[in-house]
Structure 1
Amino acid sequence: MDRRSCVAAVGAVTVSTLAGCLDDVTDRTDDEDDDQPGAGSANGANQNDDVDPHGAVEAVETYIEAGQAGDEETMSDLAYDDSPVDPTWIERMVDESDDDWEIQETEPASFENVDVELLETDVELAEVEHVEALEFWLEDEALELIDGDDTALVRTEWTDTDPDGYGYPDEVDEESHWVLFVDDGEWTILWTGPPQGTIDDFREPVTDEEGRLVEAIEYDVQELDEDGEMAAFIDGDEIHTAEVTFVDDPDPDIDAARLESTIALGSGGVEPIGAAARFSVDLDPEGDELTVYAIVDGEEEVVHREHYEP
C-alpha cells in the first residue's frame, strides 16, 4: 500500500464511521472527573442526569453527532488540525499533492447501541496502543502533546447494522479508541482507531478439517523499497502477509469469506467465493494470529485459525 492509497483509506474510514445513525448513546464516566476541562452535558446524550460526562467523553460524543448531521465545521473544531480526524485534512492533503485525486462520497453507515466510555486520563504517548500509526500520520509536534498532562483515552463501542465490504455478517460489533488532549482549555481529538490486539488476545487454533473453505495458507515476507516507510503502520523493513487459497468446491452454504489478523488489524473479504480463489492479509512481523471466517445466512463462523510465528 502506498501513501496515496493510505490517505484515501483513512478519509473513507473517518467519513463512513461517523456518518451513521446514533439511535442510543450511553455515557460511562467517573464523578471524580467533573472538574476536568470542558466537563458538561453532551447535547442530551447523557442518560444519567446526575453525572455530567467527562469533557473528553463530551467531545467525542459531539464529534460523532456532528458526523451524523454532516456538520464538518463542528467536527473540524473538535479535531487537531493536522490529523486525519479533521474532515478537512484529506482535502488539504489532496490539494497539496502533485497527483490527480478524486474524493468519492460514501454511503452513511447504520449504527445502533453506541456507548462512549472514559478509559484513562493523563496518559503518555507510550501508553497509547496506536503509537506506530500516530508516528506515521502525525508530526513530532503533535506527538509531544500526549505528555501525560491533560490527556485522555476514550472508548466507543457500537453495532454496525449494515457493514460495508465483502465477507461480513449482517451485524458487526465494533470498537474504537480515541486520543485527546486539552488545547486552550478545550478537549481536542488527536486520533481514533480500532483497539490494537496483542498476543494475549490469541485464541485456540481451529483447523478446517472438512475442507469447507480453506485449501492452503502461504506466508510471504517482502523487503520494503525506498518508500517502504509509507507502505505500512508496522515498524521494521519488511511486510509480512498471509495468502489463503480457497478450495475448488467450497461448502455451498457459505455465502462469503473474510480474513482477519489480530495484531496487524488486517482484514478483507471475498464474495462470492470462486473456484481456487485467493486472498491476502497483512500480518505483524513479530507474530500474529490469522482467522478465516465463513458467512452463512448472515452469521459469522470461524472456519480456520492459526498462529503466525515468523
Structure 2
Amino acid sequence: MVPRTTRRRYLSGLSLAGLATLAGCIDSQVGDDGTPTSTPDSQSTPGDDGDELGSPTEMVRESIEVRVEDPPAMREYFHPIHPFHPDNLSDEEADELLSQDSELDSVKTETRSLEVTPELVLTAPLLRLSDEIEREAVEDALDGEQTAVVDTTFTTTDGEETEFLVVTVTHDDEWVILAQDVQPASDEPTHFEARVVDDVTFDTEEDRARVHFVDSLVADSVAVETKTATSSRSSDTPDTLTYVDVYPDPEGDEIVVTATVDGQSGVVHREQYPPSERIVDEITYEEAPDDSPREMRARVTFTGNQGSREVTARSTVHGEEVALETSADDSWVFVGIDPKGDEIVVTTTVDGESQVVHRERYHPE
C-alpha cells in the first residue's frame, strides 16, 4: 500500500477524559468586573515585518519546533486563559499531552484574512470543552489587543501532515496563542441537525434503489434523485415515510439525497450504482476504548473496483482527511470522526478531475 498522507486536526487525539481533566484545573478567567468588553476597530492584523512585537507566523512556527524539542517549554507560547499555559498545565501533563514521537520535517505558516471574534475563538475544541473558559474571558483577552489568524501546516518525517488555524493575540507586548484549530463558518450547507438516511439497498434485477429513512427523521423536506436516469422522488412530509424507491440507470448512475432544513438545502447522502461498479463497499464506525487517547473513527472499506487512482476520505466535522494512491489490493482506510455527529465524504481523482463517489452521515444512537 502506498503511504498515506493524513491531514488531521491539531491535537485531535486527546481523549475527552484528558480534556475534562484540563478543564477542571483551570481557574475561571473573567474581567475584573465580569463585564463583557468589545473588540475595538484598532484590533488589526499587523504585517509579518517591521512590527516591534515580532511576527505571529514566526511565533507559531517556533512554538511547533519547541514542542518537538521540549514539549513542556511550549506552554510559554500560550495566553494565560489557554489550558496549555504554565499556570494551567503541569510539566508532567505537558509531557504527556504535547509529546510527539515523529520528527518534524517542515512547517508552513501564513496569515489568513479572518475577523477574530469571541465566537471564532470559542470554536477551538479545547476552549469549547472547558466549562471554565467563559466568553467574557475571551472578550477580555481580545480587548485592545492586536490579533492574527495563522494558517499552519506541519509535516513529520513519516509523512503525516497536520493543518489547523491558530488565533494569535498580543499579550504583555508579545504574540501568544489564544486558540488552536478554530473552525470558521463555512459557506457549504452542512445541516448536521438533518437526520435522514438510515441505509440504501439495491435490487439489481429491477434496477431499483431503496432509500431507507431513520426512525426519527429530522428535515422539512427530502428529495431523492438519480443523476443519469432522472428518476426522482420528493416529499414535504418525510417524517411520514419509511423509504422511497428510485430507478437508476443500470449502465451507471448515482443516487443523491438532499435534505432541506429551515429553508436551506444540502446533499446528505450519495451512492454509486450498480453495486458492481461501486468503489466504497461500506462505512463502519468504531468507538475508541475508554483508556485510548485516539479519537472515534470511521472505517471506509473498498470494494476492489477502485483500481489505481487517488482516493480521499474526509470527515467534514472532525476535519481529518486521508489521501492515498490506491490499488485493487487496498481494502480499507480509517478516518477520525466527531462522536457527536459527522459526515464522511469519499472522493476520487483521475487526471486531475475529482468526483465525490460516496457521502454519508454518522448519527450517534
Question: TM (normalized to structure 1)?
Answer: 0.54
Quick check: 1:84–1:191 contact (8 Å CA) kept in 2? no
- Once the two structures are superposed, the pairs formed by residues 1-310 of structure 1 within 5 Å of their partners are 6=13, 32-33=41-42, 42-44=48-50, 59-64=55-60, 78-80=77-79, 96=95, 103-109=101-107, 114-121=110-117, 123=118, 128-130=122-124, 132-134=125-127, 146-151=137-142, 154-157=148-151, 165=159, 176-178=165-167, 180=169, 182-193=170-181, 195=183, 200-201=189-190, 203-204=266-267, 205-209=269-273, 211-220=277-286, 222=287, 224-225=289-290, 227=291, 230-232=293-295, 239=296, 241-252=297-308, 254=309, 256-275=310-329, 277-297=331-351, 300-310=354-364
In 2, the alpha carbon distance for the partners of 1:184 and 1:109 equals 26
In 2, the alpha carbon distance for the partners of 1:144 and 1:118 equals 19
Residue aligned with 2:306, SS: coil
Deviation at 1:299, TM superposition (A): 5.5
Residue aligned with 1:61, SS: helix
Quick check: 2:149–2:168 contact (8 Å CA) kept in 1? no
Deviation at 1:145, TM superposition (A): 8.8
Deviation at 1:129, TM superposition (A): 0.6
Change (3 A) 1:110 1:302: farther
Deviation at 1:84, TM superposition (A): 9.4
In 2, the alpha carbon distance for the partners of 1:128 and 1:259 equals 27
Residue aligned with 2:126, SS: helix
In 2, the alpha carbon distance for the partners of 1:155 and 1:290 equals 27
In 2, the alpha carbon distance for the partners of 1:243 and 1:64 equals 33
Quick check: 2:122–2:182 contact (8 Å CA) kept in 1? no
Deviation at 1:6, TM superposition (A): 3.7
* Aligned residue-pair number: 245
Change (3 A) 1:300 1:282: same
Ranges in structure 2 where 5+ consecutive residues have no aligned partner: 1-10, 15-38, 86-90, 192-265
Greater C-alpha radius of gyration: 2
In 2, the alpha carbon distance for the partners of 1:68 and 1:147 equals 23
In 2, the alpha carbon distance for the partners of 1:145 and 1:299 equals 47
In 2, the alpha carbon distance for the partners of 1:273 and 1:146 equals 51
Change (3 A) 1:69 1:159: closer
Q: Which amino acid aligns with 1:133?
A: L
In 2, the alpha carbon distance for the partners of 1:165 and 1:300 equals 23
In 1, the alpha carbon distance for the partners of 2:115 and 2:100 equals 37
In 2, the alpha carbon distance for the partners of 1:155 and 1:266 equals 20
Quick check: 1:85–1:192 contact (8 Å CA) kept in 2? no
Change (3 A) 1:96 1:156: closer
Change (3 A) 1:223 1:261: closer
Deviation at 1:290, TM superposition (A): 0.9
Ranges in structure 1 where 5+ consecutive residues have no aligned partner: 8-29, 45-51, 87-91, 233-238
In 2, the alpha carbon distance for the partners of 1:285 and 1:262 equals 12
Deviation at 1:261, TM superposition (A): 0.9
Say which structure is richer in helix.
Answer: 1
Deviation at 1:32, TM superposition (A): 2.9
Deviation at 1:59, TM superposition (A): 4.8
In 1, the alpha carbon distance for the partners of 2:177 and 2:153 equals 22
Deviation at 1:68, TM superposition (A): 10
Question: TM (normalized to structure 2)?
Answer: 0.47
Aligned identity (percent) is: 23
Change (3 A) 1:209 1:85: farther
Q: Which amino acid aligns with 1:107?
A: D
Change (3 A) 1:106 1:129: same
In 1, the alpha carbon distance for the partners of 2:103 and 2:168 equals 26
Q: Which amino acid aligns with 1:155?
A: V
Change (3 A) 1:250 1:104: closer
Change (3 A) 1:5 1:206: closer
Deviation at 1:217, TM superposition (A): 2.1
